[in-house]
Structure 1
Amino acid sequence: MRWACVVLPQLALDGVLRRRSDPDAPLALVTGTAQRRVLQTVNPAARALGLRPGQSLIAANALTHDFTLVEYDPDEIERWQQFLAAWGYRFSSHVSLCYPRTLLLEIESSLALFGPWPRFEARLREELTTLGFRHRIVAAPNPLAARILANAHDGLAIASDEVMRATLGKMPVERIGLAREVATAFARMGLRTLSQVLALPRDTLARRFPVQVQQHLDTLLGERALALECYVPPDEFDVRIELNFEVASHQALLFPLRRLTADLAAFLAGRDSGVQRFALHLQHAEAVDSIIQVGLLSAERDPAMLFELARGRLEQVQVVAPVRGVRLMARELPAFVPEHRELFDERPQQSLPWEQLRERLRARLGDESVQGLRAQADHRPEHAWQTAGDAEPGSILQGPPRPGWLLRQPVPLRESAPRILAGPERIESGWWDGGDVRRDYYLIETRSGQRAWAYRPLGESGPLMLQGWFA
């Protein structure tokens, strides 16, 4: 097997920065007690001001006040790891969160689908960068070796056990995952690299060190299997973004909305599913949440489309109170069936598929403003169809062709001698609902070449009544 290790060195900081519209502004995550506040991590802009991780908040404020403070939340790290595991599930059915701030992906079975490793790796990096997470990626024959090598390398790809063993042999003993006291003991013995440790007889190691040390080395070299618990994606999506300040306009809510819908699309791609209904919760400080329901006629997962639909619904709602947070919840995640496309798409470049146009119109104008037509089993032309929203099309009665355009009300045909192409076709129906009709219908052609549908009431001798036109 072959494993890819994705290390996320700044997961907590990236999780905060990706939610901000100004990620390049100085920012520091702070932790510690009320008596001693300490900077946990800082972004490059804050580092340029002289701020450093481990620095006390008092010392940082003595240097500058031109930076933003955010509370360091360890639970956020776990949530982001779960989110990225759902994203990684798109590329491999074996995803593990065995190590902190790390994704392990089994890639041997995925190379046939995503191409050779260089192309596969480039795709992983591109998507992680788009999602806003810094990373290091290493591929190796076993997961532990990939994780250890990622401590010192980025972009390393090892395909054979021999190369892996030689590369690991150059690693310092303090960076191969041993306990600190074990690594210190090796250093005091003059053993600086893994190759020097492996040169010792096994019985010597067994006498001087706990059995776990030899087991760790065997696992690192692939001579002992590592049992990993694989990730199982959840059945719903629930992510919240807390805003830096109170927001009272739709425009200021678009950035967190775009981020949330992009995260939802990445989550859906990992589960190979779509979403047919989700809810936006606008959270207020002193009022109940404003809930915006977004419904689709079919399962979708395109990030641009989800954003446009949510934006259209949001712009129809009046913000009743300043917003402190935005939460997106999706619990209906049906299977996603991609739209069938021809090999050579003849659709103009700037046009939209009908499904996307329909959903965009519904979001902008409201559900009741966009209606379709549904066939109804009735011989009377004016009752053979009805407006329909989400309903399935009904059955169409078999018979002669019908015009595509019916007049709102039949009108007398002014042309005195039209050419009759077909007919009469007698329709007698509607006695059960009070709309009884008895008519003889004709397919006619006017002097200008137009084809029309006209009838004469049964038993009457007046002019033909024009009811519809054929295209």
Structure 2
Amino acid sequence: MLWACIVFPQLALDTVLRERDEPDCALVLMGGPSQRRVLQSVNCAAAKLGLRAGQTLTAARALADGFTCVEVDPARVDQVQQLLAAWAYRFSAQVSLHYPRALLLEVGSSLQLFGPWPLFEARLRQELEALGLRHRIVVASNPVAARMLANAHDGLAVTCPEQTRAALLQLPIGKIGLPADAAQAFARMGLRRLGEVMALPREALARRFAAQVQLHLDQLLGVRSVGLDFYQPPDRFETRLELNFDVESHQALLFPLRRMIGDLAAFLAGRDCGVQRFELHLEHVEGPDTRLMVGLLSAERDAAMLFELARGRLEPLRIPAPVRNLRLLAEDLPAFVPQHQALFDPRAQQAQAWPQLRERLRARLGDEAVKGLRAEADHRPECAWQLNDLGTCGALQVTPGSRPGWLLAAPQRLPESGVQLLGQAERIESGWWDGGDVRRDYYRIETREGLRGWAYQDLAAPGPLWLQGWFA
């Protein structure tokens, strides 16, 4: 087996930064008791002001001004870590959150699907950067070794037990995950690296240190296995974002909405499903939430498409009160079946596929404004086409080109000249059972401009031709 460990050294800070549209703003995360507030993490802009993690808030304000303070939210950090596990589930069925701020995933069985490890690693890094998360990635022959090697390395790949052991023996004592008292005891003995510790007699270590220390060393070197709880994706997706300020315009909601939709798409890809309906809740300072329902005719999981649909539903909405929080809920998660595509797409570069165009029209115009057509078993053209909901098909099949695709609201009289008849007449006599009896001879016609239509002559009252529709 081959295990990859992805460590997120600034997960709490990245969780806040990825939800803000101000990358150049100096921002710090605070923690600790109210009597002594301490900076737990700072971004690059705050570091340029001289701020460092571990400083008290009083000292930081004495050094600089104009930075934003945000309280650490452990619940939000845990929510992002659960999202990362769902994302990693796309690449491996064995994903574990055994260590905080880290993901363990077995990748040996996934190399045949995702390619050799360098290509696989590049894909992981690209998608993590798109999620806005800094990371380190290490591969080793057992999960504990991969996690501890990630304390000192990034990009290291030791794919066999011998290479893993050689890399571990060079690790400093403080980076192998020992309890603090055991690490201090080894340091007082003059031992600096794991290789020096492993050179000691095993019996001597067992007499001087607790059994937990020996167990950890055995798990680190792969002598004993560690029990891991593997992640199972939930059957629903829910995320909530606190804006921390009142928002009254649609434009200010687009950046957090895009990030939430991106998280939804990552969850869907990891679970190998799509979404057919999701709800966006606008939580106001006062009054009930504004619910925005986004429904699709078929399951989709493309982030750009889902964002455009949500945006199309949001922009016409009149926001009744300032928005304080956003919540996205998706429970209708059917299986996703990708559409078959040709090797060479004949569509123009800017053209959209019909499913995407259909959903955009529904989002912009409303569900009731976009309808489909179905053929009815009636020879009269005005009765042969009926409106139906998109996504449903009638049982009657129509030969393409046998009837015009555009019927006029009312027949128009044609001039006696300038129209050429194409072929023989097609007689239609029908409707006696419902009082709409017709007796007509239909002709395919062509005008001087080259337009082709469908016209008839009423046999009950012979006279001119009447245009009823146009062929495409």
Give the 3-state SS of the residue equivalent to 1:40 in structure 2: strand
2:255 match = 255
CA contact (8 A) 2:292 2:314 kept: yes
Distance 1:391 1:298 in 2: 8
Ranges in structure 2 where 5+ consecutive residues have no aligned partner: none
Cα deviations by residue, 1:164-220 (Å, 9 ceiling, x for unpaired) = 111111112222111122222323333322112222233333333333322222211
Percent identity of the aligned residues?
A: 61
Distance 1:124 1:444 in 2: 60
2:409 match = 408
1:10 match = 10
1:104 match = 104
Larger mean CA deviation between 148-157 and 441-450 belongs to 441-450
CA contact (8 A) 1:439 1:455 kept: no
Distance 1:79 1:420 in 2: 68
2:332 match = 332
Distance 1:398 1:297 in 2: 23
Cα deviations by residue, 1:376-425 (Å, 9 ceiling, x for unpaired) = 23332211112233351212266893233333223455448965734443
Match status 1:429 vs 2:431: yes
CA spacing shift, 1:452–1:12, aligned 2, 3 Å: closer
1:310 match = 310
CA contact (8 A) 1:375 1:393 kept: no
Match status 1:296 vs 2:291: no
Distance 1:435 1:330 in 2: 50
1:72 match = 72
Ranges in structure 1 where 5+ consecutive residues have no aligned partner: none
Larger mean CA deviation between 197-206 and 81-90 belongs to 197-206
Distance 2:253 2:451 in 1: 54
CA spacing shift, 1:450–1:435, aligned 2, 3 Å: farther
CA spacing shift, 1:406–1:170, aligned 2, 3 Å: same
Partner amino acid for 1:268? L
Structure 1 residues 369-380: aligned runs within 5 Å? 369-380=369-380
2:173 match = 173
Once the 2 structures are TM-superposed, how far is the Cα of residue 61 of structure 1 from its aligned partner? 2.0
Once the 2 structures are TM-superposed, how far is the Cα of residue 310 of structure 1 from its aligned partner? 1.2
Distance 2:11 2:398 in 1: 63
Once the 2 structures are TM-superposed, how far is the Cα of residue 350 of structure 1 from its aligned partner? 1.2
Cα deviations by residue, 1:249-280 (Å, 9 ceiling, x for unpaired) = 11111111111111111111111111111111
Partner amino acid for 1:253? L
2:362 match = 362
CA spacing shift, 1:430–1:279, aligned 2, 3 Å: farther
CA spacing shift, 1:383–1:50, aligned 2, 3 Å: same
CA contact (8 A) 1:420 1:442 kept: no
Larger mean CA deviation between 435-444 and 213-222 belongs to 435-444
Structure 1 residues 111-122: aligned runs within 5 Å? 111-122=111-122
CA contact (8 A) 1:443 1:451 kept: no
Match status 1:187 vs 2:178: no
Larger mean CA deviation between 195-204 and 345-354 belongs to 195-204
Once the 2 structures are TM-superposed, how far is the Cα of residue 135 of structure 1 from its aligned partner? 0.6
Cα deviations by residue, 1:315-347 (Å, 9 ceiling, x for unpaired) = 101122111122211111111111211011121
Number of aligned residue pairs: 469
1:24 match = 24
How high is the TM-score relative to the length of structure 2?
0.92
Match status 1:234 vs 2:234: yes
Partner amino acid for 1:90? R
Larger mean CA deviation between 108-117 and 194-203 belongs to 194-203
CA contact (8 A) 2:276 2:298 kept: yes
CA contact (8 A) 2:456 2:468 kept: yes
CA contact (8 A) 2:422 2:444 kept: yes
CA-based RMSD: 2.3
Larger mean CA deviation between 364-373 and 99-108 belongs to 364-373
Distance 2:92 2:194 in 1: 31
CA spacing shift, 1:391–1:111, aligned 2, 3 Å: closer
Give the 3-state SS of the residue equivalent to 2:281 in structure 1: strand
